[in-house]
Amino acid sequence: MFIRENTKAVKVGNVQIGGQNKVVIQSMTNTFTYDVAKTINQIKDLQKAGAEIVRIAVPDKRSLDCVSDIVKASPVPLVADIHFDYKLAIGAIESGIAKIRINPGNMGGEDKLTEIITKAKEYSVPIRIGVNHGSIGKSDDKVSLSLKVLEEYISFFESRDFQELVISLKSSDIISTVKMNRLFAKKYNYSLHIGITESGFGEAGLIKSSAGIGALLVDGLGDTVRMSLTGEPVKEIKPVKVLLRSLGLLKEGVEIISCPTCGRTEIDLEKLVTEVDKRVKDVKRHLKVAVMGCIVNGPGEAEDADYGICGTKEAGMIFERGNKIKTVPFDSLVDELMKLIKSDKL
């Protein structure tokens, strides 16, 4: 098992980021923030899916005027995403936001940034400093430039006696993102928000994000994570949960393992896995469940699973930690599996 970096913990509402706390799952609304009802509904949908912190855009005063009502209705701590206007950051803090995300370089100068810091201190609100490749200008070595810019920002905050920081170093390029975060972690112990920015859509975006995020997590880096995919933000949550669970970083819910199928498979395994996945989605206990296509890939290949099923067209077998416990008609295989899971036998 890899060792996670022991970073400086910060409190975002009632959620702790960093230290040895669990990796926190984030997402961001794509509603117009001034549409209060839609924004609140999407936040609740994200929370139901598994998001523990949600970011909202605050691009103008019209949006800012709605922040207080959204904060009051939100089931999770909210982060305000602020650019260009320091007054929006100050107003969001006064409206009860739990954290702000800024790029210090576009806040209008040191005096305005100092005002944000003063207000954040007053309300005990942490600040996420975000540096993306797209925001630092042209360079032949964007990794080095990003780190140089970030170090200047951090020095400024520390000179104002402010260290309640979460840092993000992102690019749409996986290798650059991994390099930046590895180099940063060698010098600082601030909590890291990780992800691949502008990763794309569909399977391509999912794979790209998973590759970059997974590499950092295996390095022990990453205290909070967002999988930034184009489209409906609720769809970002499940892949992150699956990734964290597969790395042993999420100790809740069911991890399903299943074989790729071959010429020995006599059943519609994809349909069977889909049914099991649907039936276990509300199980909170951390379990590993194997759904296999034949006796060869049954108990032997999945002996570390808590429970497993495999079978032929005529009959199915249920096993526990590699040991066969019963044979049942195939049509009742999933029902019998769920009885065991719900009985909490283990």
So what's the pLDDT on residue 1? 61
pLDDT tens digits, one per residue of 187-242? 999 999 999 998 888 999 999 999 999 999 999 999 999 999 999 999 999 999 99
Find the CATH number of the domain harbouring 273. 3.30.413.10
Buried b or exposed e, range 80-112, using 16+ CB within 10 angstroms: bbbbebbebbbbbbebbbbbbbbbbbebeeeeb
So what's the pLDDT on residue 64? 98
Tell me the pLDDT band of 344, cut-offs 50, 70 and 90. Answer: low
How many helices (H) and strands (E) the chain has is answered by 10, 15
- Residue 308 pairs with which residues in a beta bridge? 290, 319
Enumerate the H helices of 173-325 as residue ranges. Answer: 174-187, 202-218, 237-246, 269-280
1 in a structural domain: no
332 in a structural domain: yes
Q: Are residues 208 and 234 both part of a single domain? A: yes
Question: What is the average pLDDT value for the chain, to the nearest integer?
Answer: 93
Residue with tokens 């039936």: 279
pLDDT tens digits, one per residue of 77-97? 999 999 999 999 999 999 999
So what's the pLDDT on residue 135? 77
Q: Which domain holds residue 317?
A: 254-343
So what's the pLDDT on residue 297? 65
pLDDT tens digits, one per residue of 42-87? 999 999 999 999 999 999 999 999 999 999 999 999 999 999 999 9
CB 103 within 8 A of CB 84: no
- 254-268, 284-298, 318-332 — which is least confidently predicted? 284-298
Q: Which of these three, 191, 225, 246, is where a domain ends?
A: 246
| 3-state secondary structure at position 303 | coil
pLDDT tens digits, one per residue of 279-320? 998 898 899 999 998 876 666 777 889 999 988 777 888 988
Tell me the pLDDT band of 112, cut-offs 50, 70 and 90. Answer: very high
CA 7 and chain centroid, separation: 17
Number of domains in the chain: 2
Q: Which of these three, 195, 211, 246, is where a domain ends?
A: 246
Give the integer Cα–Cα distance in Å for 152 and 139.
17
Give the integer Cα–Cα distance in Å for 210 and 340.
32
277 in a structural domain: yes
- pTM above threshold 0.85: yes
5 in a structural domain: no
pLDDT tens digits, one per residue of 146-169? 999 999 999 999 999 999 999 999
4 in a structural domain: no
